Amino acid sequence: MSILADDDPARRAGAILSIDLGAIAANWRGLRDAGRATGRPVDCAAVLKADAYGTGAAVVGPLLAAEGCRQFFVAHIEEGIALRRVLPEPPIYVLNGLLPGTEGDFVEHRLVPVLNHLGQLNAWRAAAQRFNLALDAVVHLDTGMHRLGFGAEDAQFLINERGRLRGLRLALIMSHLVSSEEPSNPINGEQLSRFRTFVRAMPGAPTSLANSSGIFLGPDYHFDLLRPGAALYGINPLPGQPNPMLEVVTLQVRILQTRQIDAFQTVGYGGAWRSARPSRIATIALGYADGYFRNLGNRTFVHLAGHTVPVIGRISMDLVTIDVTDVPEADCQPGAIVEILGPHLTPDILADHARTNAYEVMTALGRRYHRAYVDRFAEAPADETGEPA
Ligand SMILES: *Cc1c(COP(=O)(O)O)cnc(C)c1O
């Protein structure tokens, strides 16, 4: 992928984050098809919270709507309001639910709150009466996460008093899995059985249980609607196994300066790395202010011209140092491109080095990067003969 064309605004950027929209679309189609594998009409939503896991909800939302995605989830109402501007029609569900006093904002922007407890249900029902509208609602059942959602007692109350929902249209009953990335964990089956018991007692509404990894637990977990987030953006839903998804992000950062140092010299704050031999050190335009975690110092590597190059010393706010002693000098001149994320080092691998998960790597992706949307499936540029170059 060339990012150095003379007319490319990325020319002056210190760091370029490329987001492959073709890969996101293909990942969504793959998950949708997994839901349809048994012939039941399972729908596939898209979870776009945290700016579509750092990839840009305002771009990814319309992209997936064009692919046929008809339902969207965000966490915050503000995310829903922003998404509504680019997606005028489809349902947008707000997972964090209804904060007191925000009912009018939900109605104004036609957002659907995920109702997490009886208080929210009562408030939403009162809003339906006040605005004289049959408002859509999602009921979130807690089957074991113990964060948000109707607990067992409130759920039983709702089953006994379905009239509590009068005036609302129950658009979805959902629950969320605790450990879906561990297929052999018995909590999966326990949550499945609690969810089944509840939806049997509340017939008629569409149902949803599976996040990305949950989809791979099999059709029992699919219900009517899949709710993938991570897998859309290339995060491996099957830890420890080959990633069935296409990688989405590439992060390329430029060398700012390369210098020669003697043996036994330290590099960076705190002298946290010391050269064992005369060394060449390159400093690149990246730091913890860009979401490159500070604990990656002395603990990960980057790629440069076919070489694996260690990250050395502390991560600074805006700078990272790498040991390029074994890279030919011609390949580490100022302006040269270093691969931070890409084919050699995926967000899942970087997450391992940082002792976190790829979700955090993705959602921390910096706001200072030049963002380039690309499409690996777009036709190759044609040369003058009209043949692909
Ligand atoms: C974030 C979230 C999802 C998506 O989960 P992934 O593991 O990213 O696929 C689905 N449902 C709920 C309730 C969520 O909070």
Q: What is the pLDDT of residue 388?
A: 46
Identify how many contiguous H helices and E strands the chain contains and give both numbers: 11, 17
- Tokens found for residue 233: 């953006």
Task: Answer whether residue 182 shows pLDDT above 80.
Answer: yes
Task: Check whether 305 has a pLDDT greater than 90.
Answer: yes
Evaluate whether 21 touches 55 at the Cβ level (below 8 Å): no
Ligand 1 atom 1, closest CA: 229
* Distance in Å, CA 213 to ligand 1 centroid: 9
Specify whether the CB–CB gap between 58 and 78 falls below 8 A: no
Told to judge if 49 belongs to the known catalytic residues of this protein, a careful annotator would answer yes
Q: How confident is the model at residue 280 (pLDDT cuts 50, 70, 90)?
A: very high
Compute the distance from residue 230 Cα to the ligand 1 centre, in Å: 8
Q: Give the active site residue among 53, 93, 221, 269.
A: 269
pLDDT of residue 4: 57
Look at residue 337 and give its three-state secondary structure. strand
Which of 142, 78, 93 has its CA nearest to residue 116? 142
The amino acid that residue 350 corresponds to is L
Q: Cα(210) to centroid of ligand 1, in Å?
A: 8
135-140 and 168-174: which strand pairing? Answer: parallel
> Helix 57-67 vs helix 77-86: angle between axes, to the nearest 10 degrees?
60
The pLDDT of residue 5 is 64
Ligand 1, residues at Cβ distance < 6 Å: 47, 49, 95, 176, 211-212, 227-231
Q: What is the mean pLDDT of residues 63-76?
A: 98
The count of C-alpha atoms lying within 13 angstroms of the C-alpha of 232, restricted to the half-sphere facing its C-beta, is 30
Give me the catalytic one of 49, 93, 233, 359.
49
CA dist 360 and 208 (Å) reads 24
Q: For a ligand 1 pocket test, name from 176, 221, 243 the mutation site with the most ligand atoms within 8 angstroms of its C-beta.
A: 176
**What pLDDT band is residue 10 in, cutting at 50, 70 and 90?**
confident
Average pLDDT over residues 145-156: 96
- Extract the tokens encoding 188: 């999966």
Ligand 1 atom 3: the closest Cα is on which residue?
211
Q: Residue range 64-88: average pLDDT?
A: 98
Compute the mean pLDDT over every residue in the chain, rounded to the nearest whole number. 95
pLDDT at position 389 is 42
Decide if 174 contacts 207 (C-beta within 8 A).
Answer: yes
For residues 144 and 84, the answer to whether their CB atoms sit within 8 Å is no
Closest CA to 121 of 82, 89, 150, 160: 150
Query: Which pLDDT score is estimated for 8?
Result: 73
Atom of ligand 1 nearest to the CA of 235: 8
Q: How far is residue 358's CA from residue 239's CA, in Å, rounded to a whole number?
A: 11
Q: Whose CA is nearest to atom 6 of ligand 1?
A: 229
CA dist 230 and 239 (Å) reads: 12
**pLDDT tens digits, residue range 103-124?**
999 999 999 999 999 999 999 9
Distance from residue 47's CA to the centre of ligand 1 (Å):
7
Question: Position of tokens 């129950």?
Answer: 170
Residue 269 annotated to the active site: yes
Query: Residue 3: what pLDDT?
Result: 52
Q: Which residue has the tokens 């949307």?
A: 373
The residue whose CA has the least distance to atom 10 of ligand 1 is 211
Share of the chain above pLDDT 70, in %: 95
Residue pair 364/293 in contact (Cβ under 8 Å)? The answer is yes
State pLDDT tens for residues 337-374.
999 999 999 999 999 999 999 999 999 999 999 999 99
Closest atom of ligand 1 to CA, residue 181 = 7
> Hey, what domains does the chain have and what are their CATH numbers?
21-233 (3.20.20.10), 249-356 (2.40.37.10)
Tell me the CA–centroid distance for residue 228 and ligand 1, in Å.
Answer: 6
- Return the pLDDT at 386: 44
